[in-house]
Amino acid sequence: MRKGKIKLFLIVWILLLWTIRIINVNQRAVVESVEISMRETFGYNGLSITALEAHLYSIPEFEAAMDAEVEAGDDEFEIVCVKFRIKNETGKALGWDKVMDEMGYGFETLTWYSAIDPFLGAKINFFSLESLESGGEAEAWFATQVMKECFREINWKKLDENEFYYVMDLYPNPVKVKLEIMEET
Amino acid sequence: MMRNAVLFECKRGFRSRGFRVSCLIGFSICILDLFFFCKVFWQDLDSKIASQAWIGTDFQLAFNNLYYVLFPILAALPFGGSYYQDLKTGYVKNLCIKISRKEYFAAKSIAVFLTAFAAAAMPLLLNLILCMGIVPLHTPEKLTFLNAGILDRNLFAEIFYTVPALYCVLFILLDGVFAGILAMYSVCIAERVESAFSAIAAPFAVYILSGVALMGAQEGNWSVMEMVNPLQFCTTRAEQLLICMAGGSAIAAIVIILKGRKKDFL
């Protein structure tokens, strides 16, 4: 009887200590995410960036709007894209590859995510200069495919009801642009 | 009388050597997983989160696969072979003098289910509790690509990205239920096998063979082996999960009920 009580006491004591540890671990490491809205200008790695417009296009809509061809094959997908105004404030000229590299990770909703598709980007972005000059400004599109196979049928039908985010940075704190998807007429 | 029979069988089950061995294997796998996770990622453990470390959603080490391959053995080992042993040793005759066959089978099924549930769920739960004390319970950042690739089409996707601990608990319960159902197949098959080992191994054979044969892809999946794994390599629809759970338990229950009616021990 006495042995049983000691065992119980030890178990309760260990559980209590571990619960305190769990609380400490979770309080210590709070990561605040920074949310930026459309048309809000923010600085990032020497670039001044503003999200201008965002769309969720079907393939024909995308081809018509961007005057670009998309190879769909058997896949069923829509395309989410966002246009940014990028101003170079680094004090030196930046090559376009460098600019594109600096422009974040990709798109996400609550239950879906995808990195930027550079091949789509190459089809819809045309720059007249070799690089983005210091103090210069440019507008660039970033896009990716939203594959139907990632979604349940019921959620695919109401895809436009999702809240889309463009993820600029993840470390140390996530920086995300909340996209206002424009209604297509 | 029924209550006493259930209590008696549960006591036998939870005090059996099989239950201890099963727990030992399960706990060892789960603790080794956490140990190696900490060892491998010691330098940047601060940037890790619980859903990366928990064995169920840890895709970086092999222990998840090991646990879910051994899953039916862990489930059946505690008490799955007990009906076969009761038959062989004649112990069942002693019991059926005091209680009816129906009561015996009901008590046996409940005990087999509960011991299997506990043997499968406890290691996962312990691993989760230990993980939560080492790394924080943050929601996963999807674009790091360092988490289980749960997408909208997967089960409980919203929960995974809002309350990850609840996702883990849901899968622990789900695994426990499937473990219980699988272990009951050891009772179903006991008269047809030659040893207690075969009775315990039968759910494993069913699990692996059906797992490989029925494995689905994006459009759906009927493989229990894929359903129980929280990494969800295959897409399981909610209705498929419910059908498998209801169908699996109904088949086991029908076989055991028929045994309770027809089988004569005395």
d(CA A167, CA A178): 9
Q: Which of A29, A115, A150 sits opposite B151 (nearest CB)?
A: A150
- Residues of chain B found within 8 Å of residue A18, distances taken between Cβ atoms: 129, 133
What is the end-to-end Cα distance of chain A in Å, rounded?
78
Is there a domain that residue A140 lies in? yes
What region, left, alpha or beta, does residue A91 occupy, with left being phi > 0 and alpha being psi -120 to 50 degrees? left
Q: Where are the domains of chain B?
A: 2-262
Q: Among B45, B137, B141, B161, which would you mutate to test the A interface (most chain A Cβ atoms within 10 Å of its Cβ)?
A: B141
Per-residue pLDDT at A185: 59
Q: How far is A36 from chain B (nearest CA, A)?
A: 17
Per-residue pLDDT at B97: 84
Is there a domain that residue A70 lies in? yes
Which of A108-117, A138-147, B91-100, B159-168 shows the lowest mean pLDDT across its residues? B91-100
Structure tokens at B240: 């498929």
Q: What domain range is A10 assigned to?
A: 1-30
Torsion of CA A103, A107, A109, A110, to 10 degrees: -70
Instruction: Report how many domains make up chain A.
Output: 2
Per-residue pLDDT at B198: 93
Residue B251 pLDDT level (bands cut at 50, 70, 90): very high
Assess whether A52 and A16 both reside in one domain.
Answer: no
Q: Are B196 and B81 in contact (CB under 8 A)?
A: yes
In this structure, are strands A113-115 and A47-57 parallel, antiparallel, or unpaired?
Answer: unpaired
Q: Among B46, B125, B134, B142, which would you mutate to test the A interface (most chain A Cβ atoms within 10 Å of its Cβ)?
A: B142
Q: Among A145, A150, A163, which would you mutate to test the B interface (most chain B Cβ atoms within 10 Å of its Cβ)?
A: A150
Residue B265: is its pLDDT beyond 70?
no
Q: Which of B129, B135, B158 sits opposite A110 (nearest CB)?
A: B158
What does the DSSP assignment read for B13-51? HHTSHHHHHHHHHHHHHHHHHHHHHHHHTSTTGGG--HH
- Residues of chain B found within 8 Å of residue A155, distances taken between Cβ atoms: 152
Mean pLDDT of B126-132: 95
Per-residue pLDDT at B135: 92
Per-residue pLDDT at B164: 94
Q: What's the mean pLDDT when you consider all of chain B?
A: 92
Which of A44-53, A150-159, B96-105 shows the lowest mean pLDDT across its residues? B96-105
Q: Which of A18, A28, A150 sits opposite B129 (nearest CB)?
A: A18
Assess whether A68 and A13 both reside in one domain.
Answer: no
Is there a domain that residue A101 lies in? yes
Residue B263 pLDDT level (bands cut at 50, 70, 90): low
Residue A86, CA distances (Å) to A92, A100, B117 in order: 14, 10, 57
Mean pLDDT of A153-180: 92
State the count of interchain CB pairs (< 8 A) between A and B: 59
Q: How far is A13 from chain B (nearest CA, A)?
A: 15
Q: Which of A18, A150, A170 sits opposite B152 (nearest CB)?
A: A150
Assess whether A122 and A135 both reside in one domain.
Answer: yes
Assess whether A24 and A111 both reside in one domain.
Answer: no
Q: Do A26 and B153 touch (CB under 8 A)?
A: no
Per-residue pLDDT at B59: 92
Q: What percentage of chain B reaches a pLDDT higher than 70?
A: 98
Looking at per-residue confidence, does B177 or B1 come out higher?
Answer: B177
Shortest CA distance to A55 belongs to which of A83, A74, A77? A83
Assess whether A26 and A97 both reside in one domain.
Answer: no
CATH number where A66 lies: 2.60.40.1240
Q: Are A135 and A86 in contact (CB under 8 A)?
A: no
Per-residue pLDDT at B266: 59
Is there a domain that residue A120 lies in? yes
- Residues of chain A found within 8 Å of residue B47, distances taken between Cβ atoms: 171
Assess whether A17 and A107 both reside in one domain.
Answer: no
Q: What percentage of chain B reaches a pLDDT higher than 90?
A: 74
Is there a domain that residue A183 lies in? no
pLDDT in tens, B41-55: 998 888 899 999 999
Q: What's the mean pLDDT when you consider all of chain A?
A: 90
Interface of A with B (CB under 8 A): 18, 21-22, 25-26, 28-29, 31, 105-106, 108-113, 115, 149-152, 155, 167, 170-171, 174
Is there a domain that residue A150 lies in? yes
Place of tokens 């109401």: A158
pLDDT in tens, B211-241: 888 887 767 889 999 999 999 988 899 999 9
Q: What are phi and psi of B79, to 5 degrees?
A: -145, 5
Q: Do B46 and A29 touch (CB under 8 A)?
A: yes
Assess whether A7 and A51 both reside in one domain.
Answer: no
Mean pLDDT of A28-56: 90
Q: How far is A130 from chain B (nearest CA, A)?
A: 30
Residues present in chain A in total:
185
